[in-house]
Structure 1
Amino acid sequence: MGKMGHRYSSFISVLLLVAQALAGLSAASIENGNPLDVSSREPQPKVPDYVIKHAPLLWLHPEDPFRPSDLLEHVRRTTPMSAHKPIPDVPELNLDNLAVLNTAKGGPGALASKDNVTAIPSWLLGEMPDEKGILHNSTACVVLLIEKSPEITDVFYWYFYSYNRGANITWVVEPFNRIFGAHPPSFHFGDHVGDWEHNMIRFKNGEPTGLFYSQHDGGASFDWNDHTVSKKDGIRPFAYSAYGSHANYVTEGEHIHNVVLIDWCKAGHLWDPVGSAFFYRYDPKSSTFTSLHREGSNDPALAKSDSFIYYKGLWGDEKYPDANPDQATVPYFGLKRFVSGPTGPVMKALIRNGLGPNGGAKRSWPEWIVGVFMFWYPCCIRGWRKYMSLMLFALCLMLVGFGGYRFVVKKRLERQKYSKLETEIPLEELERENANR
């Protein structure tokens, strides 16, 4: 064999040795649970332990038919619409591509139900947690971490339901429950497809300092050590999900919201939202979400389904037009039976100074007027008291009028005590007269 043959043989030998070495490295890596990654992908960051340790537990109302719902199933049961018309040229939607609606023609639009919701199709009902509070066929929670500083981290626990049932005549305080007219108790107003609620816990160096409960247009904030906040083993706070609306409260019982509406909370079925959840870290500067892996679990974050979290549209139908036979209006106040669904977490107030959204919820002028009325109603307006109140009001007007009359008469009498001089005396003459004295 010539020199060329030796060189070729040596080259082949070297290749074989390299191949054997790589094979050995790959086998060793697989045995250690770290398969060789030719893309050099960075390992998925993990969920901090304190996020799970102090995660809220929810008490669902025992009679509420609308349970936590699977996000993917919800998307599959809806159609992207804009101005009540289908958005064209979009692929079959799932959690991995939902954000394409943000840039679609007419997007981001709304996820409108394919079914008539008045028939309450089964997918609107969600899933009942088991006796340990775990959902086995649904992922209805999204956890977002926002690092405000090296010491402070806000953790949002978002809960999803496919349907929100609004108030009916029995959920309105007296006397405004009379505005329903002929509508029966089965009539609800403020219903909508899709429902996002949340708790937010602020951590300092991994220790909780305060938490927020979302409630309709606002919510309530509490110090972590507030005795009002009940906790399991002193570690995980409880939240009570209101019947139908799913607003979160710190205690069970009756709660008034929006001045005259009632929410009902009761410890029925326990739900552990982080038992099946998506976890992300949010960077406000770049407006990006990074998927996090919960160690020791087979959570769906491993699938890296992160497109849905960027979706900016409505997670339910747009408000039905008045021409829709299923739509109805409450007299006097113009409240609608069906309203628009909510936007998702990305469109909420994620950056906060305090525990609640910056600025808080602002009352509309009708709510302000109703609030003033309700302040006086229990003591002065209800039942026979209204006649006494009218008499008292008339008496006050009489006293004010009499006092005003006395004031005017007094002023006139005071002016009549002085008489005007008919002759004007020049100032120079007065000074000269004083000098001669």
Structure 2
Amino acid sequence: MTRKAKAIIALLTTLIVYVSINSIVRITRPAAFVWYAEDRDEQHWIASSRSWFDRKACRWLSVCGAAHLQMAKGRFGQRDPAGWTDAESSERWRSFWRGDAEERARLIPDFVFHYAPLVHLYSGEQFWPGDIAEHLHHTTPFLNYTPIQAHWDHPTLSNLDDLNQWEKGWPVYLTSNDDVQSRPPWLEGERNIPQGGDKQESWSDWDGRVDGDIPGDTKEDRAQWYDFTQPGTIPTDDTLDQHHEAQQIFKEELRKRYGGKEIRDDGAGGRSDAPAILVVMDKGNGIIDAFWFYFYSFNLGNTVANVRFGNHVGDWEHCLVRFYNGKPKALFFSAHQGGEAYSYEAVEKIGQRPVIYSAEGSHAMYATTGVHEYILPWGLLHDVTDRGPLWDPLLNSHAYTYDFDEDNLRASTFSPSAPTEWFYFKGHWGDKFYPLGDPRQYRFAGQYHYVNGPVGPRFKHLNRHKVCQGPDRAPCIIKNYVEQGKRPQRWGSSGLGD
């Protein structure tokens, strides 16, 4: 027997053994293959393909949609600029943001606005910030893969929660009316690129950034705000008086620093037509969490071996700024189901406002420019950030206060006309991951080309005890450094002051 024949027999034997073991395990332990929400629809998803070979290759070899494989190009999709006009969309969706009052909120402390983060978008971004009101105007609610409203009957910010009547809302998907690969203008959001502002950059030698231990930041002080469920933080009349006094001193210092004028950062960043969402929660004991939410109508997945995975319609990212007695203590940047937390002093700032870097396509948030690896080794999966257009969300934002215990979202006096019903929508802000029979879909090594759209801000663990988004019982690392290679200081929850 020739060496070539032996190699073919060995290959076929290995393939038969693999297929047999894979089939047996899938029959006996189907739950072992459920890694993502999309995997729960495995049988129906595979059955959607008309190709017998495609279905068998997917079940036996985990090679799904090979005929649909698309190599990543410089730009996503096949946009025909001449084929899109903005005339049909009209201005109807804009009406949901218009209100008469623009004064600063009485229900939201001034310091929340003084320390509002600035966002550097990526210079080569293809999908810019989106307006959730416009996003709804271009979507149709689907119950899984079945429309539940007419194509022209668009949901609005004022009635979006009505969709919760369908099986409690969870399987409802706001599905794009357009083929996303044709790159409709509303999906790209190019008209929402921040306009105005200068090219001012932040520098560590003047913006107050501190690397390492923070001067005057004691363990006892941090124990008061790191995990607000720890004992010894029940407010008394004395502590409330101290909190009020601290805020008055803080405001006086700000007035001195800015010559008694209202604090502004005019010219630092540009205004986007896409509004940011601010949700402020007073958690007691001097702790206030300010969640800044940024919405994008499309998330462009990253590439592995020049094949793209993880696209989805709709993308919610957020930054949390935690305040204690009126002073910013730590920030959390969302990124790929995880994210990172930093002390306020460690991050870059323009003036006193923290600077965030939004990654190309995925819009994951980072504290520095450059290449950021995640999940896979050797940089196979990575994000890229740079000092692209500087976005000042404070110039166009809608602010709310939220009582978690009562599940009550209120429009603040900063934007009293802002609707609140959209916040309670339980479904997904994008398409359900496409069936295997859809020519846009494929899957390799358990990774899908298109995945489910995300759920909204209400489900981002707003009532977290620590700054990090993960479970409250898990450690939360707050980094005092932003440079790579520096060892971060870990703050666990082993005890008061530790």
Normalised by the shorter chain, which TM-score bucket? 0.5 to 0.7
Verify: 1:282 aligned to 2:282, yes or no: no
Q: Which amino acid aligns with 1:159?
A: Y
**SS of alignment partner, residue 320 of structure 1:** coil
**Residue of structure 1 aligned with 2:341, choices 217, 221, 241:** 221
Offset of residue 82 of structure 1: 1.2
**Whole-Å Cα distance in 1 between the matches of residues 299 and 331 of structure 2?**
24
**Whole-Å Cα distance in 2 between the matches of residues 188 and 252 of structure 1?**
23
Q: Which amino acid aligns with 2:375?
A: N
Pairing 1:290-301 to 2, within 5 Å after superposition: 290-294=410-414, 301=415
Offset of residue 277 of structure 1: 1.3
**Whole-Å Cα distance in 2 between the matches of residues 98 and 45 of structure 1?**
28
**Residue of structure 2 aligned with 1:357, choices 460, 469, 491:** 469
Residue deviations 1:230-283, cap 9 Å, x none? 0011x1010100000000000000101123410001111101112111111111
**Whole-Å Cα distance in 2 between the matches of residues 219 and 189 of structure 1?**
20
**SS of alignment partner, residue 302 of structure 1:** coil
TM-score (norm 2): 0.56
CA separation of 1:103/1:284 partners in 2, compared to 1, >3 Å: closer, same or farther? same
- Tell me how many residue pairs correspond in the alignment: 293
Offset of residue 361 of structure 1: 12
Q: Which amino acid aligns with 2:185?
A: S
Percent identity for Structure 1 against Structure 2 = 37
**Whole-Å Cα distance in 2 between the matches of residues 361 and 149 of structure 1?**
20
Q: RMSD in angstroms over aligned alpha carbons?
A: 2.2
Q: Is the 8 A contact 2:411 2:417 kept in 1?
A: no
Partner of 1:102: 164
**Whole-Å Cα distance in 2 between the matches of residues 218 and 118 of structure 1?**
28
Offset of residue 293 of structure 1: 2.3
**Whole-Å Cα distance in 2 between the matches of residues 89 and 76 of structure 1?**
12
Verify: 1:236 aligned to 2:353, yes or no: yes
**Whole-Å Cα distance in 2 between the matches of residues 343 and 61 of structure 1?**
24
Offset of residue 120 of structure 1: 1.0
**Residue of structure 2 aligned with 1:128, choices 193, 201, 207:** 193
Partner of 1:144: 279
**Residue of structure 2 aligned with 1:85, choices 141, 146, 168:** 146
Verify: 1:337 aligned to 2:400, yes or no: no
Partner of 1:118: 181
**Whole-Å Cα distance in 2 between the matches of residues 304 and 163 of structure 1?**
23
**Whole-Å Cα distance in 2 between the matches of residues 49 and 75 of structure 1?**
32
Residue deviations 1:91-113, cap 9 Å, x none? 64111111111123573501000
Q: Is the 8 A contact 2:273 2:396 kept in 1?
A: no
Q: Which amino acid aligns with 1:64?
A: E
Q: Which amino acid aligns with 1:232?
A: I
**Whole-Å Cα distance in 2 between the matches of residues 358 and 64 of structure 1?**
28
Q: Is the 8 A contact 2:107 2:401 kept in 1?
A: no
Verify: 1:163 aligned to 2:226, yes or no: no
Residue deviations 1:108-152, cap 9 Å, x none? 50100000001111111111110224445332x111111111410
Q: Is the 8 A contact 2:464 2:472 kept in 1?
A: no
Q: Is the 8 A contact 1:44 1:291 kept in 2?
A: no
**SS of alignment partner, residue 432 of structure 2:** coil
**Whole-Å Cα distance in 1 between the matches of residues 169 and 293 of structure 2?**
24
**SS of alignment partner, residue 454 of structure 2:** coil
Q: Which amino acid aligns with 2:187?
A: L
**Whole-Å Cα distance in 2 between the matches of residues 343 and 110 of structure 1?**
9
Offset of residue 64 of structure 1: 0.7
Greater relative contact order (CA < 8 Å, ≥ 6 in sequence): 2
Q: Is the 8 A contact 1:87 1:105 kept in 2?
A: no
Partner of 2:385: 265
Offset of residue 78 of structure 1: 0.6
Q: Is the 8 A contact 1:87 1:106 kept in 2?
A: no
Pairing 1:144-223 to 2, within 5 Å after superposition: 144-169=279-304, 177=305, 185=306, 187-223=307-343
**Whole-Å Cα distance in 2 between the matches of residues 248 and 106 of structure 1?**
31
**Whole-Å Cα distance in 2 between the matches of residues 242 and 195 of structure 1?**
13
**Whole-Å Cα distance in 1 between the matches of residues 283 and 296 of structure 2?**
29
Pairing 1:33-112 to 2, within 5 Å after superposition: 45-88=106-149, 92-104=154-166, 107-108=169-170, 109-112=172-175
Q: Which amino acid aligns with 1:100?
A: D
Verify: 1:346 aligned to 2:411, yes or no: no
CA separation of 1:101/1:64 partners in 2, compared to 1, >3 Å: closer, same or farther? same
CA separation of 1:361/1:262 partners in 2, compared to 1, >3 Å: closer, same or farther? farther
Residue deviations 1:156-176, cap 9 Å, x none? 00100000000113xxxxxxx
Q: Is the 8 A contact 2:117 2:356 kept in 1?
A: yes
Structure with greater Cα Rg: 1
Q: Is the 8 A contact 1:76 1:93 kept in 2?
A: yes
Residue deviations 1:3-26, cap 9 Å, x none? xxxxxxxxxxxxxxxxxxxxxxxx
Partner of 1:408: none
**SS of alignment partner, residue 218 of structure 1:** coil
Offset of residue 44 of structure 1: 7.8
Q: Which amino acid aligns with 1:47?
A: I
Offset of residue 75 of structure 1: 0.5
Q: Which amino acid aligns with 2:400?
A: Y
**Whole-Å Cα distance in 1 between the matches of residues 132 and 443 of structure 2?**
30
**Whole-Å Cα distance in 1 between the matches of residues 374 and 126 of structure 2?**
21
**SS of alignment partner, residue 157 of structure 1:** strand
Q: Which amino acid aligns with 1:71?
A: I
